[in-house]
């Protein structure tokens, strides 16, 4: 019986090794579309509860997978399509705004006037926008193929989610599967926080920002509001990256009142209000990852992996934190750090009986030497 069990375990690990090896080879071959595959995996993981809910309401597995895929498709289009349209429709306006910025900005501090040269910055910004527009236009065919791959892969993952889950935990011994389930739960909560929570906050930002910028008299009010909503995905900073330059622009062109108005109202209503109204209502299902760690994962993933790192970076950090928590609970239980330190010090220090024995032994040695 034991020999058969050992043989079964060996067979399982050999198969797992073969799968891992083939996975590495497949990843190397599909390296150019690896970001698309990762994006589809994370979106499918978030949409699995939606597909299950539709299936429990009477839809077949295929139809529920189709409906969930359609939801993911529409959500992706809703995020990226306005961004593309805004860039191309408003490109001339953005270019005009950058060209209207004075080459030199006088700054008065403590009675002294300093001149700041911003001509090079404006020129770099114009060159960057032009290069980005040309590069995006050239990459449109490839992006179209990748988007089709994303939709197909998303549907396949949702349809065969059960088989994929069974295959993922197959090589894991039964005694350690609780660890896998805990990491999977943390991954799902993190992806929920990234996609659902951040998306809801971005929608609230758009709803607040559009009428605000329209009332302030901006011609491209929707475009500005949409960029503010997109910037909500950047942790801790968010729409401040957009509002601060707009306020500084007004100050630079001699409109300090307008700059103060958009700065105060923008920071309060656009950058701050959605976080305190929307986020707490949905945060109970999020990962509970501190904002500092989320920011580290976001920026590190973005610089290392590109656009997909916005999702993968925080996800890896969250799973790592969960693994550390599991290790700490396994070794230390519910004890606090102060209790552990106190316990370790007590164990390392000699007991009273050992101290008395050592003292008596030293005294006897002293008396023997005197004799």
DSSP string, 86-114: HHHHSHHHHHHHHHHS-SEEEEEETTEEE
Asked whether the CA dihedral 235, 239, 245, 248 is positive or negative, the reply is: negative
Task: Phi first, then psi: give them for residue 113, nearest 5 degrees.
Answer: -110, 125
List beta partners, residue 114: 107
Task: Phi first, then psi: give them for residue 117, nearest 5 degrees.
Answer: -85, 115
Q: Is 251 in contact with 278 (CB distance < 8 Å)?
A: no
Which residue is it, tokens 């040309």? 134
The CB-side HSE value for 213 (13 A sphere, CA atoms) comes to: 25
CA distance 233 to 248: 23
CA distance 78 to 113: 47
- pLDDT by position in tens, the chain (length 371): 565 656 666 777 787 788 788 878 887 888 788 888 888 888 888 888 888 888 888 888 889 989 999 988 888 887 777 767 666 666 666 666 666 666 666 665 556 666 666 666 667 766 776 776 677 777 778 888 888 899 999 998 888 888 877 877 777 778 788 888 888 888 888 888 777 777 888 888 888 888 988 888 887 788 788 888 888 877 667 788 888 888 887 877 777 888 888 888 888 888 888 877 776 665 555 556 676 777 788 888 888 887 788 788 888 888 888 888 888 887 776 666 666 667 767 776 655 455 555 555 455 555 544 55
Q: What is the pTM of this model?
A: 0.67
């Amino acid at each position: 019986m034991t020999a058969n069990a050992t043989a079964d375990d060996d067979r399982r690990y050999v198969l797992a090794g073969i799968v891992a090896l083939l996975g590495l080879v497949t990843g190397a071959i599909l390296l150019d579309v690896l970001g698309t595959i990762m994006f589809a995996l994370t979106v499918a993981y978030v949409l699995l509860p939606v597909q299950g809910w539709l299936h429990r309401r009477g839809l077949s597995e295929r139809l529920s997978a189709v409906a969930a895929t359609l939801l993911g498709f529409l959500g992706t289009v809703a995020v990226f399509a306005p961004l593309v349209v805004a860039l191309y429709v408003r490109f001339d306006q953005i270019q005009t705004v950058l060209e209207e910025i004075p080459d030199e900005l006088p700054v008065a501090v403590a009675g002294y006037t300093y001149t700041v040269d911003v001509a090079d910055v404006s020129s770099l910004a114009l060159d960057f926008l032009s290069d980005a527009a040309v590069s995006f236009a050239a990459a449109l065919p490839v992006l179209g193929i990748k988007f089709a791959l994303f939709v197909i892969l998303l549907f396949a993952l949702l349809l065969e989610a059960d088989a994929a889950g069974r295959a993922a935990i197959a090589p894991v011994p039964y005694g350690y599967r609780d660890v896998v389930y805990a990491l999977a739960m943390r991954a799902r909560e993190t992806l929920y926080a990234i996609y659902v929570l951040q998306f809801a906050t971005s929608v609230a930002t758009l709803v607040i920002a559009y009428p605000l910028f329209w009332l302030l008299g901006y011609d491209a009010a929707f475009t500005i509001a949409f960029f503010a909503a997109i910037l909500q995905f950047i942790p801790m900073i968010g729409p401040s990256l957009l509002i601060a330059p707009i306020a500084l622009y007004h100050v630079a062109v001699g409109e300090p009142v307008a700059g103060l108005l958009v700065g105060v109202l923008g920071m309060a209503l656009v950058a701050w209000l959605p976080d305190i109204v929307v986020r707490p209502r949905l945060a109970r299902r999020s990962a509970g990852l501190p904002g500092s760690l989320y920011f580290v994962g976001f920026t590190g993933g973005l610089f290392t992996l590109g656009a997909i790192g916005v999702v993968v970076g925080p996800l890896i950090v969250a799973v790592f934190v969960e693994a550390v928590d599991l290790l700490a609970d396994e070794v230390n239980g519910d004890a606090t750090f102060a209790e552990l330190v106190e316990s370790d010090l007590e164990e390392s220090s000699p007991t009273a009986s050992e101290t008395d024995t050592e003292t008596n032994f030293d005294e006897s040695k002293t008396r023997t030497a005197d004799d």
